[in-house]
Amino acid sequence: MTEVDIVRIGAQGDGIAELADGPVYVPYAAPGDRVRLARADDGRKRRTAEIAELVTAGPARIEPACRHFGTCGGCALQHLSAAYLATWKRQRILDALSGRGLVDVPVAETIGVGSGSRRRLRLAARRTQAGVILGFNARQSHQIVDIAECPVAEPALAALLPALRTLLAALLPKGGKTDVQLTLCDNGIDLWLTEIDGDAMAAQRQLATFAEAQDLARISAGGERLPVIERRRPLVQLSGIAVPLPPGGFLQASRAGEQALVGQVLAATAGARRVADLYAGLGTFSFALARNARVHAVEGDAAAVASMTAGRNGASGLKQIQIEHRDLGRRPLAGRELKPYDAVVFDPPRTGAREQAEALAASAVETVVAVSCEPASFARDARILVDGGYRLEGVLPVDQFTWSAHVELVACFARGGGRRQIGS
C-alpha cells in the first residue's frame, strides 16, 4: 500500500496527494494527514484512491458529527474543523477570481450558519424486501444510504424521518422508489413525493392521515408537483412579507444564510431609488429592497412569479414592485431597459448569468450586486463586468451549505466615483 501525505483539499472537497506520476484525489482526507491508500481508480478526468489507514491526522481533522459520515453522500467535509472550512471556502473564491485574472479583490471572512440549519432536504427512498431505505445517495453512487439522523437539517425535518419511512412502506410497491423533498416553511412542513400517484384513492387517504398526524402544511405528488393534501397554504416570511411557496419551490438553504445575504444586498444598494432584481425567485431580495426603493423583479419560473405576485398583493408598507415573467438567459435586461435603474441585483442559477453580465457591462448602471452559489461561474461573470468598466468592491462568502464543498457569496460592483461596501 502506498503511504502519502495530503497536501491540500481540492475544489470538490477531496484531499490531494502529489505523487511522482501526478496527483491522486482522496475522499475524506484532511490536509496534513499521512495515509495509506487502499487502491487507486484511474478515471477519465482524475485518479482517486481510498484511505486504508490513517497514519497521522492533520491539524484540521476533527471527529465527524454524524454516524453516517463516510457512507452517506450528503456531507463530504464533516471531518474538517469549522475554522479550516471557513478559510478554505474563502480561498475557493479567491482562486476562482485569480483564475480569471482578478487579483487583490477584498474577500471578507466567511460567515457560517452552522449545523441544524438546512430547511430544505432532498432525499431518496426505495422499498426493499427488508423495508424502506430512506436517505441520501452514497458518494458518486445511486445506492441509497439509510439514515437515522441528519445533523445538517433543521430538527423538525430530521424528526419527521421515522414516520415518513413508515408512510413510504405503505405507499411504495416492492422495488418502488421516489425522491422526497422536505421544506420547512414558517407555518409547517411542505412535502413533495416525486414518484407517488396522488390520484389513487388509497394513497390520498394515507397521505391525508399522515398530514393530519404530523401537522404538515401540504403534500404534493408526482412529477407535476400536484398538491394532494393542503391543510394550509405553505408560507415563508421574506422581509416580513408572507409569500406562498409553490410545490417544490426554491428557497435559500437556511434562514441565517438568507438574512446574511439580504443584509449585504441592502447595504450595497443603500440610497438607490430604482432597483432591478433579476432572477428574483420568490422575492427574497425584492421585498427587502422595496421598503426603500421601487423594484422591478424579473423571474423565469411561472410558479415563482405567481407566488411573488401573491405576496406583493397582500403586503403593505412597500414601494412599488413591478413583476415580470421572463427568461433572462434568452432575453436579458439590456440597453434602454437598464437606463432607469440606480442598481441591479442578480442571483442566477449555478451556471451563472453570462448574457445578463454582458448586458450590464455595456450599461451605465452605477451599482451591480451579484449573488452566487458557484465561484467559477461568478468569476467568469465578474470578469465580464470588470472588463466593462466596473470595480469589484468586495465579496462576502456565506457558508450555508455546512460540511459540503459548496459556498454562497454576495459581491458588489460599482462605476464612477461612488464606493460601496461589502462584507462589513
Express the helix, strand and coil content of the chain in percent, nearest 5 each: 25, 35, 45
Which residues contact residue 140 at a Cβ distance below 8 angstroms, ignoring those fewer than 6 apart?
A: 73
Distances in Å between the Cα of 320 and the Cα atoms of 275, 286, 290, 293, 355 are 11, 10, 7, 8, 27
Residues in the chain: 424
Q: Which three cell numbers stand for residue 299?
A: 423571474
Residue 254 is given by DSSP the state B
**Identity at 136, one-letter amino acid code:** F
CA distance 39 to 26: 10
Q: Does an H or E element contain 158, and which?
A: helix 155-159
Burial call 185-198: b when 16+ CB within 10 Å, e when fewer: bebbbbbbbbebeb
Left (φ > 0), alpha (ψ -120 to 50) or beta: where does 403 sit?
A: left
Q: Give burial (CB, 10 Å; 0-12/13-18/19+) of 242.
A: middle
Catalytic position from the list 72, 75, 150, 373:
373
- Give catalytic status of residue 150 as yes or no: no
Beta-carbon-side half-sphere exposure of residue 182 (alpha carbons within 13 Å): 25
Q: Does an H or E element contain 229, and which?
A: strand 226-230
Q: How many C-beta atoms lie closer than 10 Å to residue 325's C-beta?
A: 14
Left (φ > 0), alpha (ψ -120 to 50) or beta: where does 68 sit?
A: alpha
Beta-carbon-side half-sphere exposure of residue 314 (alpha carbons within 13 Å): 14
Residues annotated catalytic, as ranges: 373
